[in-house]
Structure 1
Amino acid sequence: MPTIRSWALALFAARHVVADFDPLSLVDPLIGSDNGGNVFAGASLPYGMAKAVADVNGQNTGGFATDGSGVTGFSAMHDSGTGGNPSLGNFPILPQLCPDDVIDNCKFLITDRAVNYTNASVVATPGYFGVSLTNGIDAEMTATEHAALYKFKFPTGDNGTGSKPFVLLDLTDLWQSRQNASVSVDATTGQIRANGTFLPSFGAGYYQSFVCVDFAGSPVNDTGIWVNNRAGTEVKDLFVTRGFNLFYIQAGGFVTFEPSSDGVLYARVGVSLVSTEQACQNAEKEISEPSKDFKRIQSAAESAWREKLNPVSVKADGVSTSLQQMFWSGIYRTMMSPQNYTGENPLWNSTEPYFDSYYCIWDAFRAQHPLLTIIDPSAQSQMLRSLLDIYKNEGWLPDCRMSLCKGWTQGGSNADILFADAYVKNLTGIDWNFAYEAMVNDAENEPLEWSYEGRGGLQSWKTLNYIPYLDFDYLGFGTNSRSISRTLEYSYNDFGLATVAKGLGKDSAAKYLSRSTNWQNLFKKDQTSFINGTDTGFKGFFQPKYLNGTWGYQDPIACSALANFCSLTSNPSETFESSVWEYQFFVPHDMSKAIELLGGAEEFISRLDFFHESGLADIGNEPVFLTVYDYHYAGRPGLSTKRVHYYIPSSFNATEDGLPGNDDSGAMGSFTVFSMLGLFPNPGQNVYLISTPFFESVSIKHPETGKTATIRVSNFDPTYKDIYIQNATLNGQPYTKSWIGHEFFLHGMTLELTVGDNETASTWGKSADDLPPSSSVSSMLSM
């Protein structure tokens, strides 16, 4: 008998055989499904709310993992690539065959019911997920915007265990954060309605979730509810709380069915954050005939993904299939979140879009949102409008948000960078005066609880011009740590505000530009750094500073890949998820001044090399991204290309463990895409740093202007020995700068790069006039 994997892949290939090229054939949702990538591997539409996949009891942050753990259910809401606690996974359903058709012989508890899957059976393609369980049940699923459709195929004939298909619904989520929940099972139709109150996985507060499950394909035999490991058919309704002394009561509803001749049972699952009635309406509207709609819905999902990938085209002659899979899969994962919850926000009434799962902007502002600005500017505009609507109704721009809740702030107010980036790239549809107001609110007003909105320590920021170590902050409250990283991030946040203020003709631009230099106040020029007692030979690092201006101390290697990880809760430090060594390279707006303080260009390059080659660099976390390209600012852009070709494919590849860290809603994927594209953003500025693409040519047709921008490599070498740019032309004219602006995409320009094998012999991009801009030497000083 052919497996799900074999016939589904054959069907997928056959469906598109007439096309010369289908990018979906190179999308592999299983990249990063092991080793902590935490990707969502299941069925979803672009930015879709419904996300159907098998949930496992191993690495289940995104629901499913290819780690060989057991399947505990199938649920229809997930986040992708997040760290920390598992997110969503509300109300999983699980099909079984119970021994002797006795209800109490069924397996209810999560620890008991987990069933292994056959590794070779896993099939994941855009809009589809399939898996075969070792109990003989095959599962397939696809999704619409607010509903999931499951197709379960039970073994037929005498299997010695039981013949009546059984499906349970569990009143839980992946994190088991349920506070209370209700379930109701219709005795005639078998429809299951459930709702519950849950906790966000990385934030404060709570949210309510609703689900509506209908079945088709087999007549209903019986229904009921279950609590812990016992069930009954007389009672059809249940309410459950967290449990006595917080003991977690496992409970839910179930339906048994008469066996059908083909063993196929369909489950339609509608989801909502508003009401159970709306969950049912969503399902009925989007999936009218569950037993007939599966192929139609899967095809519609594929079409939606194909449309989103359509602006991008590559000439990939000689490029390995795995590298092409990395590229297209990275674009795909970039459009998994934020999720479009428009019409599903019960918190306020609005005609504006509502997106959720900004998880988190601290991770996503660096590459994910800049990529969306290029390939899906309409969606990016809607996301920023959604952020402004959150500000309008809750008083602050979020730095992180999920499940209708405020997420923990990791660094600065980095939504400010998203707006600065959109402003300099002429993103349309934004009320810029209102955006400026929201950004000023971040910069000037401290919230009472700055652990999940705004900025803390603003009194010190304005008077001392840095965030002090052990700050005395009575205006608001948050985790009193990260004084170094917050100082650097607030500096860049204020630069973003200065950029928008200048563009709008606001008098405040000069003030915020001045505040963007505050990072310099934590640079200690005589600070040394040792590793295992050996002096690294470098002097001058950021250090914490007390309120009275005296220096504190943090080992520069603390929080690096050579030391303990630093988070908000475990091992809080003066840098967040990153070391002083890493943060010395994070001055995105004034790398020229940073290079000067660090001893000049040659010393800076030596530091960068040591950082990346000593084990200090954590390529699995987003603050490292720009350090890969910081060589541009020292006049050695070829060294950035060399570094990229080290990390791709050594740390980023097309395997199931092919991501070095959490994908973080597509952050790792977008880093890969930009790196392979040959243009890497310095977000918040109209700057893309030029390196050599991994393809002979890459073209992007702007979805709004219709203009096509092309990067072409002359003398392209698919063995990647000749990767150093020797010279370049832009629209046929010599181009010596190592960077380019967003006009390249808006106006459809052509950048042609001639490459060779010698980095030192090339003069391209190395002169002072060709370096990317820095605020201390740019025209912004005239404000």
Structure 2
Amino acid sequence: MGTEDSPYHKALMAVPVSLRGMPRSPRVIVYTLAFIAIFYSIPWLNLGSRDGIIPPLFQRRPRYDVLQYVDPLIGTANGGHVFPGATLPYGMAKPVADTQSPGENAAGYVSDTNPILGFSHLHDSGTGGNPSLGNFPLFVHPGCANDDYRACRFAVNNRPVYRIPDQVFASPGYFAINLTNTVRAEMTASQHVALYRFGFSGKEKVDTLEGRGIPYSPLVLVDLVDLMNSRSAGGVQVYPESGRIVGDGQYSPSFGTGRYQAFFCADFKGARIRRSGTFIGDDAREEPKFFGGHEPGWNNPSGSAGAWVQFERPEGDELLVRVGVSFISVDQACENAEREIGDWDFERVEGEARTAWRKKLGAIEIDPRGVSDELQVTFWSGLYRSMLSPQNYTGENQLWNSTEPYYDSFYCIWDSFRAQHPLLTIIDPVAQTEMIRALVDIFRHEGKLPDCRMSFSKGFTQGGSNADIVIADAWVKNLTANIDWETAYEAVVSDAEIEPPEWGIQGRGSLVSWHKLGYIPWDDKDVNGTGPMSRSVSRGVEYAYDDFCIAQLAEGLNRPADAHKYRLRGANWQNFWNPDQLDLPSPEKTQYRNPNDPSSYSDLVPLTGFKGFLQPRLRNGTFRHQPVRTCSPVSDFHSCYFDTVYDTYEGSPWLYSFFAPQDMATLIRLMGGRDTFVSRLAYFHESGIAYMGNEQAFLPTFQFHYAGRPGMSSYYVRKYIPSLFNASVNGIPGNDDCAMGAFTAFAMMGFFPVAGQDVYLLTPPFFREVRIKAWEEGKWAVIRVRNFDERGRRIYVREAWLNGRKYTRNWITHGFFRKGGVLEFVVGEEEGDWGTREEDVPPSYPVKEWVPSRGMSPEELAAELAG
């Protein structure tokens, strides 16, 4: 693919630096050829279209290009932490501009007004916690005062430069930004290599915010620092003849334990070299050309150290920088660079990246008629984000040699098992199969499946051992090719039966009590391992669902005794159910504050009278009170994060009381029947208790299906899209985790998975028709609305047909996506009786033999544990 595939570059080069990188212009609807001709002559109009001089809506017969509707900048503000830079699907190389945005720049770039720190080549997307990766940033000066390289700023805390407002452009495989120091930065990427194109004003003297009359002689530095400033060792070398800079460093993961090593190889093209050298902090010198083992110390608090090259005036006032990255060695970083981008062809690399994204997104087609551009951008951008991570590090595994695929940045499976992995199972089963194989191989070499993993390091566990659900989900959906199921089963059983010494980073804790009592006591005495002894309720209900999923795998692998054992344990969530617990406030409050007016301390919310909630429990069987709204947006919202002392994690007992996807029939009965369950779930969504910025709220949006009210699920889907999930830079309500995008894509296509089960809950899609490539060659799974309403008022399914036959279930199985077919809806403005009968709701798996734990006295417990 050449410039024909990316005419944006022609327009970008034709305008002044002050206009380059302008964001996507709003599409203008025109009605006459004369008006089109006028706008055709305006250069900046093309900035709204990267694949045609005229945006597609202007063309007589437009070719629907999904990339026109992908905006990588969605979620780059207010905690979304989305990576908006250039990359391939699951790509390792991820170049972008890093902003000086403490607490927000986990993915490097943030859509705010903070200055730019540099351009680094490795990032994660959508994570919480500390900044991740961001190793080896480049920084470009157009020149140095008095033509003295020592007058340039080298240290990361001194060199940041502001961007020109509203001059950033992001598209799949491409990112561009203009800086106030007159430098324009563009970047694209192959699998292991970042390619930058830096443009300059061409003036002999440059006026910047840092100074006036600076001689034009670009200086490029490469810093060994990372975004978290965690480097503890490393080295760098610059070769004065070629300008090549190579180096390495050792770093910390952002949400885990251990260390990892990374390597780079940077080359330059387009200008002659004037001088080169190394720097530590702001102390830059022409000699030495090499140093190694440098440890950031008290005299270098910035952590900055690296090498630099200064150039004569570049040809065409552009300078190319190619950076190969590796986790194995400098040699491999250089080999990656030379193999993947040996021709230095920016347009080819970007074109191939765009082609790769078109192919991946091409697994789905939509009929866009009558749907706003904003909704299309919301949908396609969500689908795009779901394929940014995990990242394919196959061939770059620094821990062990294996013929199996290796994926990293499972950040975290606690977030992604609910939507992202089920989505990839449908739209990219090859990649999802490789991820399953990678998880099994991690178990094979490290002894446990990860719950969170990044940068070759063990991440912290947050709840259950949720890789068990991902593996079971693959099994029940027949994603079995080349997966070693014997080892996979061994891995999930290890989670269920063997407590590791440090279950805060892998596996499960409190297993003795879990096996003996059927719950995790608040006052548990765990002598077999260490980990956070809080979260007893949220860990317990997740362990129960993990065990239920293991039972399905055991049944499929013809292990009936195991299947029975784990099915029984799957009912243990009921041991946390306190039928007498009321919707009471914390002891120091009489009522809860109004979530619609959080600044008001006088407007208080009355109690509801809802009865029965999950509660922490003591070893003697009695319950311990945790206020049921604590850890929700209406009460002590941020008190249940990683270092919480409470018994629910990142959510309240109100939220976790809905988590029994293996047996919703029993849960509905415990809550008082269908009508009370529906009222209670609706109150959860209306009262401010629900927080859609965390993935646990995804399934409760659709759980009305289990009570025969699928229309209510559709209602709340459309309440949250587009109010919380939309096409703005604030367009997701929390860390993306590559899961917010998956939720959006599922909801807009008209179905949502119950992860770990062969169940998809059905709602009307946001489009006339959605077509999904089926696993069987040449087949499509088609979801169609016969009487599509462009006004968006008909949101309730009134009738449905599957392959021409009346269909009354409000759910469907994976066979539809595997074999293909046509599912058609007739919709209305009011709820009907479709999907309301008992036989039409999704399956539940109650366990008749299960006996609730009645608790034990301390003496009985001691005797039980001893013998």
Structure 1 residue 252, shift from structure 2 partner: 1.4
Residue 315 (structure 1) shift: 0.9
Question: Alpha-carbon deviations, 1:344-369, whole Å to 9, x = none?
Answer: 00211100000000000000000000
Q: In structure 2, what is the equivalent of residue 459 of structure 1?
A: 512
1:147 and 1:475 map into 2 onto residues whose CA distance is 45
Which residue of the partner structure matches residue 655 of structure 1? Answer: 728
Task: Map residues 232-251 of structure 1 onto 2, 5 A cutoff.
Answer: 232-239=285-292, 240-244=294-298, 247-251=301-305
Does the residue aligned with 1:343 lie in a helix, a strand or coil?
coil
Q: 1:245 to 1:263 in 2, by over 3 A?
A: closer
Q: After the TM superposition, which residues 278-293 of structure 1 pair with which residues of structure 2 at under 5 Å, given as runs?
A: 278-290=332-344, 293=345
Whole-angstrom CA distance in 2 between matches of 1:496 and 1:242: 48
1:510 aligns with 2:510: no
CA distance in 2: counterparts of 1:131 and 1:524, whole angstroms: 56
Match of 2:191 in 1: 145
Alignment of 1:726 with 2:798, yes or no, is: yes
Q: Please state whether the residue corresponding to 2:262 is helix, strand or coil.
A: strand
CA-CA distance at 1:158 after TM superposition: 2.3
User: Which residue number corresponds to residue 307 of structure 2?
Assistant: 253
Code of the aligned partner of 2:460: W
Q: Which amino acid aligns with 1:105?
A: A
Task: From 763, 767, 773, give the equivalent of 2:837.
Answer: 767
Match of 2:10 in 1: none
**Structure 2 residue 261 is matched with structure 1 residue 216:** no
Q: Where does 1:181-192 land on structure 2 (aligned, <5 Å)?
A: 181-192=234-245
Select 2:99's aligned residue among 29, 37, 56: 56
For 2:694 and 2:839, the matched residues in 1 are separated by 32
Helix, strand or coil: the match of 1:268?
A: strand
The alpha-carbon deviation at position 220 of structure 1 amounts to 1.0
Query: What corresponds to 1:22 in structure 2?
Result: 65
In the alignment, what sits opposite 2:396? 344
The answer for the alignment partner of 1:440 in structure 2 is 493
Cα 1:133–1:690, aligned 2, differ >3 Å: closer, same or farther?
same
In the TM superposition, residue 564 of structure 1 has moved relative to its aligned partner by 2.7
* One-letter identity of the residue aligned with 1:589: Q
Aligned mates of 1:581, 1:502 — CA distance in 2? 33
In the alignment, which of 615, 632, 642 is matched to residue 715 of structure 2? 642
CA–CA separation in structure 1 for the residues paired with 2:806 and 2:315: 71
Answer whether contact 2:238 2:290 (CA < 8 A) is retained. Answer: yes
1:749 and 2:821 are equivalent in the alignment: yes
- For 2:614, the equivalent position in structure 1 comes to 542
Q: What is the distance in 1 between the residues matched to 2:51 and 2:819?
A: 36
Contact conserved, 2:49 with 2:55, CA < 8 A, in 1? Answer: no
Conservation of the 8 A alpha-carbon contact between 2:280 and 2:300: no
Matched, 1:406 2:458: yes
Q: Which of these two proteins has the greater Rg computed from alpha carbons?
A: 2
Aligned positions of 1:80-99 closer than 5 A: 80-96=125-141, 97-99=143-145
Distance 2:660 2:713 in 1: 17
Distance 1:322 1:572 in 2: 42
Q: 1:704: how far off?
A: 5.1
Partner in structure 2 of residue 676 of structure 1: 748
The amino acid of 2:92's aligned partner reads M
Q: CA deviation at 1:120?
A: 2.7
- For the residue of structure 1 that corresponds to 2:303, the secondary structure is coil
Aligned to 2:52: 13
Give the letter for the 1:94 counterpart: F
Please give the per-residue CA displacement for 1:485-504, whole angstroms capped at 9, x wherever unaligned: 01100000000000010111
Alignment-mate amino acid for residue 836 of structure 2: K
Structure 1 residue 180 displacement after superposition: 1.4
Q: Is the 8 A contact 1:169 1:253 kept in 2?
A: yes
1:629 maps to 2:702: yes
CA distance in 1, matches of 2:642, 2:78: 22
Question: How far apart in 1 are the matches of 2:713 and 2:642?
Answer: 34
Please state how far the C-alpha of 1:542 moved relative to its aligned partner: 0.7
| Residue pair 1:128, 1:140 contacting (<8 A) in 2 also | yes
Tell me if 1:737 matches 2:809. Answer: yes
Q: Do 1:541 and 1:581's aligned partners in 2 also have CA atoms closer than 8 Å?
A: yes
Instruction: Give the counterpart of 2:541 among 470, 484, 488.
Output: 488
User: Helix, strand or coil: the match of 1:121?
Assistant: strand
SS of structure 1 residue aligned to 2:682:
helix
SS of the residue corresponding to residue 488 of structure 1 reads helix
Amino acid across the alignment from 2:618:
Y
Q: CA deviation at 1:779?
A: 14
Aligned residues: 776
Seen in structure 2, the aligned counterparts of structure 1 residues 334 and 720 have a Cα distance that, compared at 3 Å, is: same
Q: Matched residue of 2:105: which SS?
A: coil
Q: CA deviation at 1:682?
A: 0.3
What residue number does 1:74 align with?
A: 119
Contact 1:410 1:568 (C-alpha < 8 Å) held by counterparts:
no
SS of residue matched to 1:558:
coil
Gaps of 5+ in 2: 1-15, 23-43, 206-212, 592-606, 852-867
Q: CA deviation at 1:544?
A: 0.5
2:820 and 2:55 map into 1 onto residues whose CA distance is 29
**How many Å apart are 1:776 and its aligned residue?**
1.2
2:568, 2:850 within 8 Å by CA — same for their partners in 1? no
Q: Alpha carbons of 1:488 and 1:273: their partners in 2 closer, same or farther (altered >3 Å)?
A: same
Residue-by-residue CA offset, 1:470-511 (whole Å, 9 max, x unaligned): 321111111111100011000000000000101111021000
- Residue 128 (structure 1) aligned with residue 185 (structure 2): no
Q: Which moved more, 1:297-306 or 1:703-712?
A: 703-712
Answer yes or no: is the 8 Å Cα contact 1:566–1:575 preserved in 2.
Answer: no
Say whether the 8 Å CA contact 1:705–1:746 is kept in structure 2: no
**Structure 1-normalised TM-score?**
0.97
Q: How much has 1:703 moved relative to structure 2?
A: 4.9
1:251 to partner: Cα distance: 1.6
User: What is the CA–CA distance in structure 2 between the aligned matches of 1:459 and 1:297, rounded to whole Å?
Assistant: 55
Determine helix, strand or coil for the equivalent of 2:128.
coil
Q: Aligned equivalents of 2:257 and 2:84: distance in 1?
A: 27
User: How far apart, in 2, do the equivalents of 1:207 and 1:15 lie?
Assistant: 47
How far off is 1:8 after superposition? 5.6
CA–CA distance in 1 between the matches of 2:392 and 2:303? 32
TM-score (norm 2): 0.88
* Farther-moved stretch of structure 1 (519-528 vs 150-159): 150-159
Query: C-alpha separation between the residues in 2 aligned to 1:706 and 1:401?
Result: 36
Q: Secondary structure at 1:728's aligned position in 2?
A: strand
- Segments of 5+ residues of structure 1 without an aligned counterpart are none
Relative to 1, partners in 2 of residues 1:212 and 1:778: Cα closer, same or farther, differing over 3 Å? farther
Question: Within 2, Cα distance between the matches of 1:56 and 1:147?
Answer: 21
Distance 2:760 2:610 in 1: 30
Could you say what secondary structure the match of 1:530 adopts? Answer: coil
1:8-27: per-residue Cα shift (whole Å, max 9, x none)?
65443349968611111111
The Cα offsets for residues 293-315 of structure 1, whole Å up to 9 and x where unpaired, read as: 10000000000001101111111
What is the rounded CA distance, in whole Å, between the counterparts of 1:431 and 1:498 in structure 2? 18
- For residues 487 and 449 of structure 2, the distance between their equivalents in structure 1, rounded to whole angstroms, comes to 12
What corresponds to 2:229 in structure 1? Answer: 176
User: Of residues 149, 162, 170 in structure 2, which corresponds to 1:103?
Assistant: 149
2:315, 2:335 → 1: CA distance?
30
Instruction: Give, in angstroms, the shift of residue 115 of structure 1.
Output: 1.0
- Does structure 2 retain, via aligned residues, the 8 Å contact 1:56–1:65? yes
CA distance in 1, matches of 2:760, 2:849: 18
Between the aligned partners of 2:850 and 2:611, the Cα distance in structure 1 is: 30
Distance in 2 of aligned mates of 1:68 and 1:357: 28
SS at match of 1:111: coil
Tell me if the contact between 2:281 and 2:302 (Cα under 8 Å) persists in the aligned partners.
no
Q: Which amino acid counterpart does residue 591 of structure 1 have in structure 2? A: M
Q: How has the CA–CA distance of structure 1 residues 249 and 372 changed in structure 2, closer, same or farther, with 3 Å as cutoff? A: closer
After the TM superposition, which residues 299-314 of structure 1 pair with which residues of structure 2 at under 5 Å, given as runs? 299-314=351-366
- The partner residue of 2:739 within 667, 690, 704 is 667
Q: 1:198 aligns with which of 251, 258, 261?
A: 251
Relative distance call for 1:628 and 1:217 in structure 2 (3 A) is same
Report SS of the residue matched to 1:161: strand
State the one-letter code of the partner of 1:462. Answer: H
**Is 1:325 aligned to 2:377, yes or no?**
yes
